[in-house]
Amino acid sequence: MKYNDIADITRLLSQIGWAERNAGNFSMQITQELCSILRRDFQQVNELSDFENDLKDLVSLDNSLIELNLFISISGCRFREIYKNPSQYTGILSINFIKKNILWYHMEKDAMPSSEWRSHLRLHLEMIRLNSRNLCILHTHPTELIALSHKLAHLNEDEINNILWNMMPEVKYFIPKGIGLVPLQVPGSDELAKASKEKIRFYDIILWQKHGCLAMGKDLWDSFESIEIINKAAKIYLLAH
């Protein structure tokens, strides 16, 4: 995890129009060692929620996982602001499955993690369960993919993926699994988190209908480039049809 990468990607997403207002968020798994180092930047700490009531259905992978540390963007921040000072607009979620608590480390007094942190947490846990190489999740609002979810709402996953694969050779090569589709859900809801969790068993990219896109990758650049390719395919389709 490098602050320079976060700055470069959030600036780019803002410039190309995929992060209007406070749209978009990201998270990545970090080691305990890196977590200890980064915590020095975040002087504020509080317990985020009641684990038992709020996340009672989460299990610690047959008790093999003791703690998970997620570096995540804060709620309400603008990507056009993040790149100027990444540490100010990020924090660490530290989930302890033995103590059953969630600690939130951050810089700003009233900052909270992304409103979609539950989706991020569930997806990271599922990636760990699947022994996935992916460590990062990027959510953004790519214009053409959202438009495609309106235009082709009557089609299923296989049909949409066949369309995208046929737009240019790179799509099939770099996105061989295609994309998973999640019907319209309330942003930040547990229903959206659970629906997304089911999809990453088969896909590394998820299109939330009429909302945006999630990409799982080994790092932030990997996640961004996957969305970049699949959105280019969507743009070509919309221009050609």
Q: Rounded to two decimals, what is the model's pTM?
A: 0.91
pLDDT in tens, 174-201: 999 999 999 888 877 778 888 888 899 9
Closest CA to 233 of 122, 158, 155, 147: 147
Spatial contact of 66 and 97, defined as CB atoms under 8 Å apart: yes
φ, ψ for residue 208, nearest 5 deg: -80, 115
Using DSSP's 3-state secondary structure scheme, residue 51 falls into helix
Query: What domains lie within the chain, and their CATH numbers?
Result: 3-240 (3.40.225.10)
On average, the pLDDT of the chain sits at 89
Closest CA to 80 of 179, 160, 12, 30: 12
Rounded-to-integer distance, Cα 84 and Cα 151, Å: 36
Proportion of the chain above pLDDT 70, given as a percent: 93
Rounded-to-integer distance, Cα 112 and Cα 117, Å: 10
Inform me whether the pLDDT recorded for 223 exceeds 60.
Answer: yes
Longest dimension (CA), the chain: 55
- Band (167; pLDDT cuts 50, 70, 90): very high
DSSP secondary structure code for residue 80 in this structure: H
- pLDDT at position 57 is 58
Average pLDDT over residues 40-62: 68
- Band (115; pLDDT cuts 50, 70, 90): confident
CA 240 to chain centre: 30
Rounded-to-integer distance, Cα 180 and Cα 176, Å: 12
